[in-house]
Amino acid sequence: MSSVWSGPAEHRGEKAPLRTFLALELPSDFIDEMERGLAPLKAAHEDFRWTPRTNLHLTLAFLGTTPVPAVDQLREVLLPLLREVKPMPIAAEGLHLFPPRRPASVLALGLGAGGADISRLATAIEEALLPLAQAVPLPDFRPSHRPFVPHITVARSGRFYIVLSPEERHLRISAQGIVTRCTFFSSVLQRGGPVYTPLWWWDFLGKQ
Ligand code: 2AM
């Protein structure tokens, strides 16, 4: 019996696929304000794995396994959409626990202002990428079955699920800023936490 399988990509002279995602970068004044608001939670829950400042972002699309040669192709597909986006004012609103109504492993900050525009952008991006998923291929990229919830993951569970008291759950965290950059990242999962590397980015042009 013969097989076309010839081992992992590296052994076939190709670069190993990346793990990628597209995200909005957060302005530093927004992060400063957000970190101040989160300080009491961080002090009370040292057991959570708090996202380091440099890893904070708002994911628009998680592509997962991505062949290296597709990185430029995806840029060409996404740029026409991103060119239409003006700098976006955003405001933090509310904390989310994911998954909702079950033991939570993610604590995230939601958005008020800017949330609806970001959801529309994420939906347009998904619609642009889905027809390509088989050809590229993007084996991990599938249609989402739930509405997009714009959020910034601020902590993941450590040894235990994330549990907040009712007061903590309703903590008001105010943070505002203007999002000006969308970045295509590769993510390498490491023991000490993921390492995100920008592969390309687009700065939104014009006035908000
Ligand atoms: P998050 O925005 O909820 O944190 C890089 O890993 C980013 O891609 C993370 O910020 C994470 O989402 C998102 N991500 C990682 N794995 C994912 C998956 N399997 N499905 C959807 N999004 C994922």
- The residues near 189 (Cβ < 8 Å, ≥ 6 apart) are 19
pLDDT of amino acid 93:
97
**Average model confidence (pLDDT) across the chain:** 94
Q: How far apart are CA 95 and CA 46, in angstroms?
A: 18
How sure is the predictor about 12, in pLDDT bands with cuts at 50, 70 and 90? Answer: low
Q: 3 pLDDT exceeds 60?
A: no
Task: Tell how far the Cα of 62 is from the centroid of ligand 1, in angstroms.
Answer: 6
Q: How far apart are CA 105 and CA 102, in angstroms?
A: 9
- Classify 139 in phi/psi space as left (phi over 0), alpha (psi -120 to 50) or beta: alpha
Task: Tell how far the Cα of 188 is from the centroid of ligand 1, in angstroms.
Answer: 12
Q: How far apart are CA 25 and CA 37, in angstroms?
A: 19
pLDDT of amino acid 7:
63
How sure is the predictor about 157, in pLDDT bands with cuts at 50, 70 and 90? Answer: very high
Which ligand 1 atom sits nearest the alpha carbon of residue 151?
Answer: 2
Residues 128-156, mean pLDDT to the nearest whole number:
96
Look at residue 58 and give its three-state secondary structure: strand
Q: 81 pLDDT exceeds 90?
A: yes
How sure is the predictor about 188, in pLDDT bands with cuts at 50, 70 and 90? Answer: very high
pLDDT of amino acid 122:
98
pLDDT of amino acid 199:
98
The pTM assigned to this predicted structure is: 0.93
Q: 11 pLDDT exceeds 80?
A: no
Q: 6 pLDDT exceeds 70?
A: no
Residue nearest atom 13 of ligand 1, based on CA coordinates:
62
Residues with CB under 6 A from ligand 1: 21, 59, 62, 153, 187, 194
Look at residue 105 and give its three-state secondary structure: coil
Residue nearest atom 18 of ligand 1, based on CA coordinates:
62
Task: Tell how far the Cα of 52 is from the centroid of ligand 1, in angstroms.
Answer: 15
Interhelix angle 70-83/115-129, rounded to 10 degrees, is: 140
Structure tokens at 83: 């060119």
Using omega within 30 degrees of 0 as the cis cutoff, is the peptide bond preceding 99 cis?
A: yes
Task: Tell how far the Cα of 21 is from the centroid of ligand 1, in angstroms.
Answer: 8
Residues 175-197, mean pLDDT to the nearest whole number:
96
Residues 23-27, mean pLDDT to the nearest whole number:
98
How sure is the predictor about 142, in pLDDT bands with cuts at 50, 70 and 90? Answer: very high
**Which of 22, 58, 62, 187 gets mutated to test ligand 1 (max ligand atoms within 8 A of its CB)?**
62
Structure tokens at 17: 């696929």
- Percentage of the chain surpassing pLDDT 90? 89
Look at residue 50 and give its three-state secondary structure: strand
Q: How many CA atoms lie within 13 A of 206 on its CB side?
A: 7
Q: How far apart are CA 70 and CA 129, in angstroms?
A: 12
Residues 130-146, mean pLDDT to the nearest whole number:
95
Residue nearest atom 20 of ligand 1, based on CA coordinates:
62
Q: How far apart are CA 48 and CA 133, in angstroms?
A: 34
How sure is the predictor about 5, in pLDDT bands with cuts at 50, 70 and 90? Answer: low
Which ligand 1 atom sits nearest the alpha carbon of residue 98?
Answer: 3
Residue nearest atom 3 of ligand 1, based on CA coordinates:
153
